[in-house]
């Protein structure tokens, strides 16, 4: 049981209101920001029908679907989630297998998507939330198994390893790394011993080095990270353009729609590198404001999680919070040159229906946990 630790500011404003304001209104800003970043690209791209509003219209549809999922997440019974956790995990692994089997859609040399008519599914995004629900359910039913390697840790390690290797095969190191962070973080919250924490760190470190060293393109990205301008027209091009965007923005930015890098200079300017465009247009102040909003959202999620009296809710909330924080850190690290360029969406801001809907549904679950806490406290 988790003791109730009251935070004056969060309690005074209200968990649900803060959660709603940040997780439902933040995507609206994301829609506007990704529209701004994609306008020129869509206007000049035959694949979009030269329609400058192509990405905006799709994003609005995804936002509406995400809002519905937020409401579903805020009302769904946790028992239903637990009953579907194993099926959901199995379904996510099945989708990952389909990608490896060659049934996915290839974009820029990576096979991360499954095309179903007008709908594109990204199994890696689904797998993150499926794993969170699976681990939360597993240790809700068997809390003592966190201290039992054979009956507790081994099954979890096996599931995580299978997902990690299948996602790495796409290739998608960033999502695979995020998956490891989520699983490891949840195991620590569940009560993983210090010995296993140290061993897991060691194994993860060795695995990370092996994953990077076995892919030549990953080694090239590491080299580009050290000095992107040494090969600014090759492997360092994307990071160099990102740094130029951030540098051009300075403290106050060049103003809304004033970005130069979004005019076909910075690849993925409306998706993984939308933060660079925001930095260029709104400057360091704008980026700091966005990070403050993320901090508030993370603080609300942590507050909700530590004040729950149900083990499942505590683990579910922990997993969602770790997923949110890790992706923000990874994305910010990538666009600023602290981490090698790889595909990580900035939650609620980057263009992409899968990411937006997964995060909005997740925030609905957090609202559900908050409401359950309120009822239990009377």
Judge whether residue 322 has pLDDT over 50.
Answer: yes
Could you give the percent of the chain with pLDDT greater than 90?
52
Q: Is the dihedral of CA 288, 272, 329, 300 positive or negative?
A: positive
Tell me the per-residue pLDDT of 95-148, one tens digit each, with 9 for 90 and over: 999 988 878 777 766 778 888 877 888 999 999 999 999 999 999 877 888 888
The alpha helices in 227-310, defined as continuous H runs, are: 237-249, 274-306
pTM metric for this prediction: 0.90
Judge whether residue 220 has pLDDT over 90.
Answer: no
What is residue 110's DSSP assignment? E
Task: Locate the domains of the chain by residue range.
Answer: 8-377
d(CA 32, CA 80): 35
Tell me the per-residue pLDDT of 223-244, one tens digit each, with 9 for 90 and over: 666 677 777 777 788 888 999 9
Mean pLDDT of 69-85: 94
Which has the minimum average pLDDT: 6-20, 189-203, 252-266, 320-334? 6-20
Mean pLDDT of 251-257: 91
CB 214 within 8 A of CB 222: no
E-strand ranges in the chain read 105-107, 110-116, 119-121
Structure token pair of residue 187: 């195991």
């Amino acid at each position: 049981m988790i003791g109730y630790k009251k935070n004056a500011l969060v309690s005074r404003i209200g968990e649900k209101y803060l959660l709603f304001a940040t997780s439902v209104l933040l995507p609206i800003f994301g829609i506007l920001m990704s529209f701004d970043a994609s306008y020129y690209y869509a206007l000049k791209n035959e694949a979009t029908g030269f329609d400058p509003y192509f990405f905006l219209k799709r994003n609005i549809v995804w936002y509406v679907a995400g809002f519905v999922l937020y409401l579903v997440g805020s009302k769904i019974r946790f028992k239903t989630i637990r009953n579907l956790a194993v099926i959901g995990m199995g379904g996510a692994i099945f989708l990952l297998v389909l990608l490896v089997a060659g049934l996915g859609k290839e974009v820029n040399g990576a096979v991360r998507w499954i095309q179903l008519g007008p709908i594109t599914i990204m199994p890696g995004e689904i797998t993150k939330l499926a794993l969170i629900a699976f681990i939360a359910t597993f240790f809700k039913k068997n809390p003592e198994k966190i201290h039992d390697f054979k009956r507790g840790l081994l099954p979890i390690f096996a599931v995580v390893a299978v997902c990690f290797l299948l996602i790495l095969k796409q290739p998608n190191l960033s999502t695979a790394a995020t998956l490891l962070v989520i699983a490891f973080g949840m195991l620590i919250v569940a009560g993983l011993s210090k010995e296993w924490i140290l061993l897991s760190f060691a194994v993860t470190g060795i695995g990370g080095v092996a994953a990077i060293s076995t892919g030549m393109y990953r080694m090239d990205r590491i080299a580009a990270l050290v000095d992107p301008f040494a090969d600014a027209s090759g492997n360092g091009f994307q990071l160099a353009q990102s740094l130029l965007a951030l540098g051009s923005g300075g403290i106050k930015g060049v103003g809304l729609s004033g970005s130069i890098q979004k005019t076909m200079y910075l690849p993925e300017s409306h998706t993984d590198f939308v933060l660079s465009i925001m930095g260029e247009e709104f400057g360091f102040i704008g980026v700091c404001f966005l990070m403050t909003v993320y901090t508030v959202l993370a603080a609300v999620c942590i507050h909700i999680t530590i004040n729950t009296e149900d083990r499942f809710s505590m683990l579910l909330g922990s997993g969602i919070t770790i997923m949110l924080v890790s992706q923000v850190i990874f994305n910010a690290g990538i666009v600023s040159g602290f981490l090698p360029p790889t595909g990580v969406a900035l939650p609620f801001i980057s263009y992409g229906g899968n990411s937006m809907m997964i995060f909005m549904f997740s925030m609905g679950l957090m609202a559900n946990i908050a409401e359950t806490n309120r009822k239990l406290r009377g």
